[in-house]
Structure 1
Amino acid sequence: MTLTIYTKPAGCFGCAKTKQKFAEAGIAFHEVDVITNEGAFEYITEELGYSQVPVVVYDKGGSENHWSGLNPARIDQIISIEAAAGRLREA
């Protein structure tokens, strides 16, 4: 399982809350700043088609799931999947 959150560093409430929810649940994630990483910006806009951060990409067993924006229902879904698999770490 890999979880990547594409963010911008300042002024993004959705980015902060998304990271907070995963951190509180004990789910490790990789954060990528789309302001300083041009390749990441191109990936989320051109390949995935999003124009809003955060963009969350959850890859489990080669199956990729992604969305854009603060989405508590999708966050909770990923937390439930990881909890059922026993992959939560102590926060």
Structure 2
Amino acid sequence: MNETVGIIVYTKPNCQPCRMTKLNLDKQGISYTVVDLTETPAALTYVQDELGYSSAPIVVIDDHNHWAGFRPDLIAKIGH
């Protein structure tokens, strides 16, 4: 199991890229926390206003390392 902590995956219901991102993280053995953007208005404001994203999923590793969309290439980098 990778020791990376603090990864947050911002998702929304019925989001195929969100599901694929979580499955890929699970496959890599990477721990993460899921935040549903439809249930957490402050999180939605954060990813839109602070990070500048408008589509889910948004994966946040730290303040300088984050992305939107299903990115297996970037997920693979976390696992190494």
The two structures have a TM-score, normalised by structure 2, of 0.88
- Consecutive unaligned residues of structure 2, counting only runs of 5 or more, are none
* Equivalent pair of 2:12/2:38 in contact (CA under 8 Å): yes
* Equivalent pair of 2:8/2:33 in contact (CA under 8 Å): yes
Task: Find 2:60's aligned residue among 57, 63, 69.
Answer: 57
The amino acid of 2:47's aligned partner reads I
The equivalent of 2:27 in structure 1 is 24
The equivalent of 2:68 in structure 1 is 68
Q: Distance in 1 between matches of 2:31 and 2:13?
A: 18
Q: Which has the larger radius of gyration?
A: 1
Q: Distance in 1 between matches of 2:64 and 2:61?
A: 6
Q: RMSD of aligned C-alpha atoms?
A: 1.1
Deviation, structure 1 residue 64: 3.3
The amino acid of 1:66's aligned partner reads H
* Equivalent pair of 2:10/2:35 in contact (CA under 8 Å): yes
Q: Distance in 1 between matches of 2:11 and 2:72?
A: 16
The equivalent of 2:77 in structure 1 is 77
Deviation, structure 1 residue 9: 1.8
